[in-house]
Structures are given as structure tokens and as C-alpha cells.
Structure 1
Amino acid sequence: MPIKKKKSGKSKKKSGKKSVSRAAGDSGGEDEGIEEPVTAISGETPPPKPTTPNKKKKKSAKKMTKSEKAMAKLDKAAGKIRESGGAFHKFISRMDRWITVYYPKAVELFQKFDEEGFGTLTYEEFKSGMYDLDAPCSTVELHLLARLLDEEDTGDIDYTKLAKGLQFVREKEQLKRNEEEGASRLILSERKLEHCACCKLGLWHPYTEKNPKYLLVEMRLVTFDNFEDHPGHVTFVIHLHATIQALIQLIRDETDIQCTTMAIFEDASRSKDAYLPEHKTLDELGFFGGSIDNPEEITLFYDYMVEFTDCPLLLCDHYFGQKH
């Protein structure tokens, strides 16, 4: 048998290595195409690996200090009062009356805090002064008042503006309501419910109109209309969407009149044309209303009838059957 030469095997292996190196893309000579493996001993750094775009890491939320948490909690509570509508207007009216009366005393106290005489105070100085003056408001309401006085959100309060009371706040709110009414349109949106702290279920609240209208109604008892001051003449502020039946109930609550029938009229004639149906609202009857600060003033008349059904003396037939 013929013996295989070992040299021919080595040459095949070398040719195999050369073909691999050439397949790798080197166009040089045969010796230049052979690459040595990279090791830690050789001291050479490995070629850089292809980089893949890293996902953006979420920035960790900045931890709030105790004072910042307390301020955020006050802002949230104050925002709820401002969005409440009726409660906010009552708060503004109450503080406006109080500031008008106690403004000289308040300025004298605030000037002691204002050492540099710039006419401004920090939130803490303003709140401390209001506490010393026994202002009729809670902690949240006082914070809301400070926010309202700090119109430019600078952190300083110009206490000299208190000379005019809170009229500027009312004017801003009125302008805001007018703009919203002018740009009002039907928008369908998902209603967000406040969640219960215990069961996490949504809490439903009755619908409240965003910009309600009001009337200042003077109710005069027709029988005593000639008298300027009479216990039967009552005045109250009522919502424009209130019904005539609601007016009747308010009259009964104010005057304690015990009757079976009561009617409201547009004038003192008590005619059929002047009668206002109980199921109609004031809006449906043609009244326009105004803001809570400047309601539309109207005068209506009412009368009632008393039927004696439980008095034995008035119901007895005493005179029947008597001989003259």
C-alpha cells in the first residue's frame, strides 16, 4: 500500500487557514491574511462591540421636604374651595367685610413686620399677622387669601392692596365667568369621580352649575302692601333655576305662616294673568339673574288663604236653631 506523506496534510491545513483569512476580507498576501487571536497576554484591547440604543431611564422623582409637602397639601385644599363656587363667594364676601372694617389695624400690625418698608410681606408674616388679628377664616382659607393677594405668584404679598378690600378678586372672577359663558359649548368628557379612602369606589356628587345666576327677590304680602315695613315682607337671594314652589316654602320658613293655600303673583292685582304657576322656574318665567355679587333685583307679591279645619268653636253650629 502506498504511504501517505505528512507534508501534503500540513499543506492542506495551511491552505484551509489561508482561505478562511481571505474570506474574512483581507486582500493582502498570504501571510498578511492570517490573524492572531487576541488574548489578555498580548495586551491588545478587543474591538469595540456594536452599541445598541439604550432605553431612556426614568428620572426619579425629587423628594419633597416636609414644608413643601405641607404647602402642596394647602394648595390642593385651597383649590377645592376656589372651585366650589358658592362656598368661595361666601368666603370672599365674609373676608371683604372684615378687611374693610379692620384694615387700619391690620396695616399698623403689618408695618411692624415690614422692617424695610417695601409694603410687602412673606406668606408666613402675613399669616402670623392675620392670626394675631383673629381673622374669621380657617388655615386653608387663610392660605387661599394669601394666594389671591399674590397675583403674580412671587411669594410676597402687597398688603397695601387691602385698602380696597377684595373687590379686585370679585372683578377677576366676574371676568372669568363672562369669558367662560362667551366660549361655552357642549363638550363630552368622562366624569372623574372622587374615590373613597376606604373602599376606593367612586363617590357621586349632585350636579352643580359652574356659573349660576341669582336673584334678589323681595316678597311683599299683598294685603299689607301699603305698609313699608311689615313682618310679612321678606327678602332673600335665590337661584335662578328655583321654582315658585321653592319660593313659597322659603316664605313659610321666614314668616311661620300656617296656611293651606299660598300663591305668588307678578303684581299686586292678584289677577289670573299675574299668577305664577308653582311648577315653573324663575328662569322659565323670563328672569335673567346676575352674579352672586350683583344679583338681579325683582319684586313679587304673595297672598294666602287660611281654612279652619281643626277649631271646634269656629266649626260649631252655635247660631243654628236659635229662636229669636
Structure 2
Amino acid sequence: MPPKSLKVLKKLEKLTKKDGKIFDKEMASYMERIADFQHFVDRIDDWYNKNEKRYLKFMSLYGEDIISETEFKLAFRNLRTPFSELEQHIICRMIDPTASGRIEYAKLYEGIWKALANKYVADDDPNIMDLDRPDKWFLATFKIPTFEPLDMQTTFEALVSQDYTGYMLRELIRTKVPQLPTKAIVVFTEASKYAETVIKCNQRLAEFNFTGGPKCAPTEINLYFDYTMGRVDCPMVSRVEYFGRPEVQKAQSKPEHS
């Protein structure tokens, strides 16, 4: 880093420490109610799922896996995230609970859910039955059962609920793996029983033999997917855009006369 830039960064880091002391005091009241904290974590989760690639690419410009708190906050500001300065500070504390000032930015997603789990444990009263925390969450690993293509990464993890339908899972796969050569995707629960375990368009995960967990400690499951050029059950996939216009298909299917 050029000397002038380093000098500016050092000044900013002093201001970050000064602001941090104020924000640390405000954190307590902001995080007091578990429902409000849950909503905050959901907002981060939603933003991260939509911006994961942009976030990681931007942070990687620093050329380091661990950056300073000041650098992290500057990057967050440049990414134009929807979080206030106090909320950005809380996110830093989620990733760096010891307040070391060093942020391992790739652990943002892990950090927010660990922080929520710790909050649940700290606030939990064993004498009160909490009926508002349904055990319906899964940390699903999505993968192609046969092999992963060399030219693209197709295995990924995502937090999903038992209310996810087959259509919603397909949309999630398309978002996470945009390089797939077709929109006709099938999702199933067992690699060796493709036909019997296909998750149809309107079927929910709740209809399958999975037992969920709370959002802060979801049950880990595997889901499999593959792409096909044939028709699958989902009405969206039956539209002509996926397979060409009917007259084109008809023309292509006619045998050539010798």
C-alpha cells in the first residue's frame, strides 16, 4: 500500500476504534429482544444470499483472507448494503466476537448464525416452552449425484425450510448455478432412487422423510439435482421457451425423405 494511503488508513482505524466504543454500548439495547435480533439476522441472510458472489469478489480485492475492521466497513459501505453503521458494527462483532479488529470476511454467513445460536442459549429459560420456534429448518447440500462438471462448480449449501417446494428448490439451484445449460432441472432426495424420490413442482420438503431443526441449528441433509432436456413435472418447465416453439419441434421431428 502506498505511504499516503497507509497514513489515511491508520487515521480511519483510529476513528473506527473511537466509534466502536460508542457502538458497543448501543449494541446491547439493539440486540436485547430475541425477535428483533432474529429479524436482523434474517435481513443479513436475505442480503447475503442475493449478493454472495459480489460480496466475496469485492472483499477478495484486498488480497487477504483476513482484513481489518476498518477495511471491512469501508468495503461494506462501497457495496451499498442496506445496513446502518450500527448494524455494520454488529455484523463485525458477529464475525469477530473477541473484538480483535481482524475480520475473516468469508465467515460472515457462519458468524451470523453462530451469534443467533448463542443469543438463543443465553436467553433460553428452561421453564418456558417456546412454541414460536418450529423445528423446520435444513442446511441442505445440493449436488449432482454422478459427477461434477469440470467447467463449473455445482455443489453448494443453502438454508431452506420444510415449506420449500420443488419449484422453489429449482429456482434456488438456477440462482446458485447460473451456468447450467438448461432450465429443465429435476431435484430428488436419494441418488440411487431418482424416479421414486423426485420432488415435484408443488411438493414441499415436509412431505419427505426429513426431520428439521431450529433455524440456528438446522438439520443437515443432502439433496440431489440433475438437468435434462426432456419434460419434467413442473408447469413452468413445460412452457415453449424451454424447448423451442411447437412448429420448430414438429419440423425437427419429421424424418428426412431420401
**What TM-score, normalized to structure 2?**
0.48
Higher helix fraction (1 or 2): 2
Larger radius of gyration: 1
